[in-house]
């Protein structure tokens, strides 16, 4: 009887934890657009509450502070983003197809989700000054790095080439282009965005040497 009672208590406890986590996720996703619009420094829990259906007290109950909420919001967004190129990789049958579809999606997501991308870079910059962000930022960076590596590895396979850079270097190169293009896009410097779009395929070829 005691074992049965303990099992029931464990199940109840797990359900409570699951419900709490699900609620945190819901609140974090709801806060994403306010965070993306205003940025980390200009956003408070009260500001987020004023721009959502949730009260300030509810946010305080589920999140220790603004840093906790921002980190969870970005984590939820990135969980989806790090698989954004997987369909492109899976359906590509030639190197040219992969290169062209990757380039198209690279700049489509930059344009359509610009505010959300800048929130990620805001959090990453904050981690240089606030150690409490670093563990989460490094975990997200690892997943983003793997996302890019899947693209580069498949590109090398399809064109029969040899990878010329490490996973970290390949990610740094493409992330640098993305961040520069994002800044140009937000600044409406369209010529710079177009130039970077034209050069991206060449960067892929620099990362994969033809045999």
Pair type for strands 161-163 and 208-210: antiparallel
The answer to whether residue 12 scores a pLDDT higher than 50 is no
Task: Please give the structure tokens belonging to residue 193.
Answer: 């965005």
Contact predicate 162/207, CB 8 Å: no
Lowest mean per-residue pLDDT among 2-11, 81-90, 149-158, 187-196: 2-11
Structure confidence by residue, pLDDT tens digits, 50-76: 877 778 888 889 988 888 888 888 888
Question: What's the length of the chain?
Answer: 211
What string of DSSP letters covers 100-118? HHHHHHHHHHHHHTHHHHH
Strands, DSSP E only, in the chain? 161-163, 208-210
* Percent of the chain residues topping a pLDDT of 90: 55
Pairwise CA distance, residues 176 & 186, whole Å: 15
Contact predicate 124/78, CB 8 Å: no
The answer to whether residue 89 scores a pLDDT higher than 70 is yes
Q: Which domains does the chain have, with CATH numbers?
A: 2-65 (1.10.10.60), 82-210 (1.10.357)
Nearest to residue 85, comparing CAs of 20, 156, 150?
Answer: 150
Pairwise CA distance, residues 8 & 205, whole Å: 58
CA-based angle 127:133:134, to the nearest 5?
70
As a dihedral over the C-alpha atoms of residue 48, residue 49, residue 54, residue 58, rounded to 10 degrees, the angle is 100
pTM of the model: 0.83
Pairwise CA distance, residues 194 & 184, whole Å: 10
Pairwise CA distance, residues 166 & 12, whole Å: 47
Contact predicate 59/45, CB 8 Å: yes
């Amino acid at each position: 009887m005691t074992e049965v009672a303990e099992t029931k208590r464990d199940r109840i406890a797990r359900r409570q934890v699951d419900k709490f986590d699900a609620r945190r996720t819901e609140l974090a996703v709801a806060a994403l657009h306010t965070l993306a619009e205003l940025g980390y420094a200009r956003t408070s829990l009260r500001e987020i509450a004023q721009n959502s259906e949730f009260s300030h007290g509810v946010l305080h109950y589920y999140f220790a502070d603004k840093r906790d909420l921002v980190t969870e919001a970005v984590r939820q967004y990135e969980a989806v983003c790090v698989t954004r190129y997987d369909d492109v990789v899976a359906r590509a049958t030639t190197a040219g197809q992969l290169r062209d579809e990757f380039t198209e999606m690279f700049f489509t997501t930059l344009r359509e989700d610009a505010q959300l991308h800048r929130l990620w870079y805001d959090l990453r910059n904050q981690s240089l000054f606030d150690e409490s962000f670093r563990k989460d930022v490094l975990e997200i960076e690892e997943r983003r790095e793997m996302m890019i590596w899947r693209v580069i590895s498949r590109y090398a396979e399809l064109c029969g080439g040899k990878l010329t850079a490490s996973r970290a270097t390949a990610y740094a190169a493409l992330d640098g282009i993305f961040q520069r293009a994002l800044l140009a896009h937000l600044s409406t410097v369209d010529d710079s965005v177009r130039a970077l779009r034209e050069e991206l395929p060449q960067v892929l070829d620099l990362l994969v040497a033809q045999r």
